[in-house]
């Protein structure tokens, strides 16, 4: 005789290392959505998954249950390939802000359903909300219309689209339940499958600023994502990218929007940010079946040089109710009241910039959340003055901290300085794009 579903029984089963029988995962997710499973019960179950893991079948079952928790987008009209990109989260990772309009300018449709800050990592939606008027919460019909008209839209999942993920994402963020491969896979792929993608490019971060600290763990997660994505019928490519140091020069919501705009204007930006964004744009065109490698690279270069990619950003902002003038005048973005300079206290080579430490500082400044209800200050953050492998002298500028008027800066300067590891020997270089994972 089958016992009626019990959330407590499911929690204990996973806590003790067992596997869920058929239907139990689906019942857990359905109960969470309808309110019969409480937030604290779901948090306990997620924590058990973090420690005990899930089998491949359980991970697939969880992903399908998340997809089934709400509506799917209607099938797309005939037209260009529908392709998206997803990052597992990093520090200074503003790639999506530049990549979506760039890929759209190259002829793809890019329905990018993004998230908010998760743990110490920044959230694309929080960055976009630093643009005056930009609405990230839009209904599916408007989302589809923007993608069809503009070529790209970056928005949050609607109340009806994968509602389980929206609520679970918030619980994971404030409960220390982030670095779990099954939960990462189900969160990413449920949203992507609900958007009915033709292709998906995955950016799996490696290093202290991401959720996978080692290359082996990151490769395992990329493989899991590849298999699950292909099982769901998508063409998928996956890359490992470096996140031991922050990506680009800026960490903080409005600051990162500024850097993304500079990239689209073909102004000088950090080499790692430019390289990763271009490489992922080319990968999106490949999974969309849009030509050979050399031709794809020429299309990406042309979309930037012609201003077409910046035009798509401007149009996307306007379509979301934002001020499109931001694309031409980033000074319209929020800016901090105070800027503190952080200088080196020794000479040597920058061996490492602790991405996790910088991210925690930005969260403490108000640029991220400690609790679900916390409000974000879009103006705060850190701008790097040097990068890994640079030579610095005593008193050279390491970084600038953009802070609120009421924030005390005495300990802050020392915390930022401590995140820069200065050594007498030049460090080995680490490529921003580490490798492509094929299976």
281 and 400 co-located in one domain: no
Which residues are designated catalytic?
86, 165, 172, 187, 191
275 and 322 co-located in one domain: yes
Last residue of a domain, one of 296, 331, 366: 331
What whole-number distance in Å separates Cα of residue 14 and Cα of residue 19? 6
Residue 68 lies in a domain: no
Residue 76 lies in a domain: no
277 and 352 co-located in one domain: no
- What is the count of structural domains for the chain? 3
Are β-strands 110-114 and 152-156 bridged in parallel, bridged antiparallel, or unpaired? parallel
203 and 226 co-located in one domain: yes
pLDDT given for residue 2 in this prediction: 65
79 φ, ψ to 5°?
A: 165, -160
326 and 409 co-located in one domain: no
Q: Which residue has the tokens 């609790």?
A: 371
| Domain, as residue range, for 411 | 334-423
Alpha carbon 209 to its chain's center: 12
- Closest residue by Cα to residue 239 from 217, 228, 223: 223
pLDDT given for residue 119 in this prediction: 64
For 76, which DSSP code? Answer: P
Radius of gyration of the chain (CA): 21
Residue 58 lies in a domain: no
Q: What is the mean pLDDT of the chain?
A: 92
CATH number for the domain harbouring residue 188: 3.40.1030.10
- Within 10 angstroms of residue 105's Cβ, the number of other Cβ atoms is 25
Q: Which residues of the chain have pLDDT under 50?
A: 1
Q: Residue 243 contacts by C-beta under 8 Å, 6 or more apart in sequence?
A: 90, 91, 93, 205, 206, 207, 208, 209, 210, 355
351 and 262 co-located in one domain: no
- Closest residue by Cα to residue 93 from 85, 102, 101: 85
196 and 306 co-located in one domain: yes
- Closest residue by Cα to residue 239 from 279, 289, 271: 279
CATH number for the domain harbouring residue 406: 3.90.1170.30
What whole-number distance in Å separates Cα of residue 363 and Cα of residue 74? 37
What whole-number distance in Å separates Cα of residue 89 and Cα of residue 69? 24
pLDDT given for residue 79 in this prediction: 93
pTM equals 0.88
pLDDT one-digit tens code per residue, 182-235: 998 998 899 888 889 999 999 999 998 887 888 999 999 999 899 888 888 889
pLDDT one-digit tens code per residue, 252-292: 999 999 999 999 999 999 999 999 999 999 999 999 987 78
pLDDT given for residue 291 in this prediction: 76
* Cα angle: 411, vertex 353, 392; to 5 degrees: 90
pLDDT given for residue 1 in this prediction: 43
Residue 339, beta-bridge partner list: 402
pLDDT given for residue 238 in this prediction: 95
- Joined together, the tokens standing for residue 124 give 């694309």
């Amino acid at each position: 005789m089958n016992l009626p579903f019990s959330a407590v029984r499911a929690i204990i089963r996973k806590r003790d290392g067992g596997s869920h029988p058929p239907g139990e995962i689906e019942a857990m997710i359905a109960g969470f959505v309808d309110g019969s499973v409480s937030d604290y019960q779901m948090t306990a179950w997620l924590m058990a998954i973090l420690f005990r893991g899930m089998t491949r079948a359980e991970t697939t079952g969880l992903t399908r249950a998340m997809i089934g928790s709400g509506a799917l987008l209607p099938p797309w009209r005939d037209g260009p390939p529908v392709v998206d990109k997803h990052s597992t989260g990093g520090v200074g990772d503003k790639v999506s802000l530049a990549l979506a309009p760039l890929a759209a300018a190259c002829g793809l449709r890019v329905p990018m359903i993004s998230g908010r800050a998760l743990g110490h990592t920044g959230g694309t939606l929080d960055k976009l909300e630093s643009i005056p008027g930009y609405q990230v919460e839009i209904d599916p019909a408007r989302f589809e219309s923007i993608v069809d008209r503009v070529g790209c839209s970056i928005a949050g999942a609607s109340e009806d689209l994968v509602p389980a993920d929206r609520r679970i994402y918030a619980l994971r963020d404030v409960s220390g339940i982030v670095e779990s491969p099954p939960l990462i896979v189900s969160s990413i792929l449920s949203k992507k499958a609900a958007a009915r993608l033709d292709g998906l490019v995955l950016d799996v971060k490696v290093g202290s600023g991401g959720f996978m600290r080692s290359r082996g763990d990151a490769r395992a997660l990329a493989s899991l994502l590849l298999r699950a994505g292909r099982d769901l019928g998508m063409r998928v490519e996956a890359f490992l990218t470096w996140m031991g140091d922050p990506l680009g020069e800026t960490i903080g919501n409005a600051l990162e929007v500024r850097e993304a705009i500079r990239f689209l204007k073909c102004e000088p930006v950090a080499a790692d940010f430019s390289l990763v964004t271009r490489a992922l744009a080319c990968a999106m065109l490949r999974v969309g079946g849009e030509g050979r490698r050399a031709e794809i690279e020429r299309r990406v270069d042309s979309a930037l040089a012609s201003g077409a990619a910046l035009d798509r950003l401007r149009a996307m902002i306007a379509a979301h109710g934002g001020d499109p003038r931001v694309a031409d005048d980033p000074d319209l973005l929020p800016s901090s009241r105070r800027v503190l300079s952080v200088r080196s206290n020794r000479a040597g080579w920058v061996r490492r910039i602790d991405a996790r430490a910088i991210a925690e500082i930005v969260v403490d400044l108000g640029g991220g959340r400690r609790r679900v209800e916390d409000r974000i200050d879009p103006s705060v953050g850190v701008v790097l003055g040097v990068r890994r492998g640079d030579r610095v002298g005593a008193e050279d500028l390491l970084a600038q901290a953009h802070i609120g008027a009421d924030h005390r800066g005495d300990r802050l300067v020392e915390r930022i300085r401590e995140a820069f590891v200065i050594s007498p020997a030049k460090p080995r270089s680490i490529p921003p794009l580490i490798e492509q994972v094929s299976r």
